[in-house]
Amino acid sequence: IPRRARVPVLAIALLMAGFASVMTFRGEAAGWWHPAEQSEQRLAGEWLDANTEPGDRIMTRSMIVSFYSERVTVAMPHTGVEGMLTFARHYGVRYVVADQYTVDRLIPELTPLFERDDIPGLRLVQVVASENRVARIFAVDPAPPPSLDDPPLLGFTGDAG
97-141, pLDDT tens digit by residue? 999 888 988 899 999 999 988 899 999 999 999 888 899 999 999
Please tell me what DSSP assigns to residue 4: H
Give the pLDDT score at 161: 40
Cα separation of 57 and 53, whole Å?
A: 9
Identity of the residue numbered 129:
A
Pairing of strands 93-99, 133-140: antiparallel
Pairing of strands 133-140, 72-75: unpaired
**What is the mean pLDDT of the segment spanning 17-21?**
77
Binning pLDDT at 50, 70 and 90, where does residue 33 land?
low
| pLDDT score of 78 more than 60 | yes
**89 or 36: whose pLDDT is higher?**
89
CA–CA distance from 91 to each of 10, 42, 74, 95, 140 (Å)? Answer: 55, 23, 8, 11, 12
Q: How many residues does the chain have?
A: 161
* pTM for this predicted structure: 0.75
Q: Which residues 6+ apart lie within 8 Å of 119 measured at CB?
A: 81, 112, 113, 138
Task: Check: CB of residue 142 under 8 Å from CB of residue 49.
Answer: no
**CA proximity to 136, closest of 88, 102, 160:** 102
**CA proximity to 126, closest of 78, 117, 79:** 117
Mean pLDDT, the chain, rounded, equals 85
**CA proximity to 114, closest of 98, 96, 130:** 98
Please tell me what DSSP assigns to residue 132: T
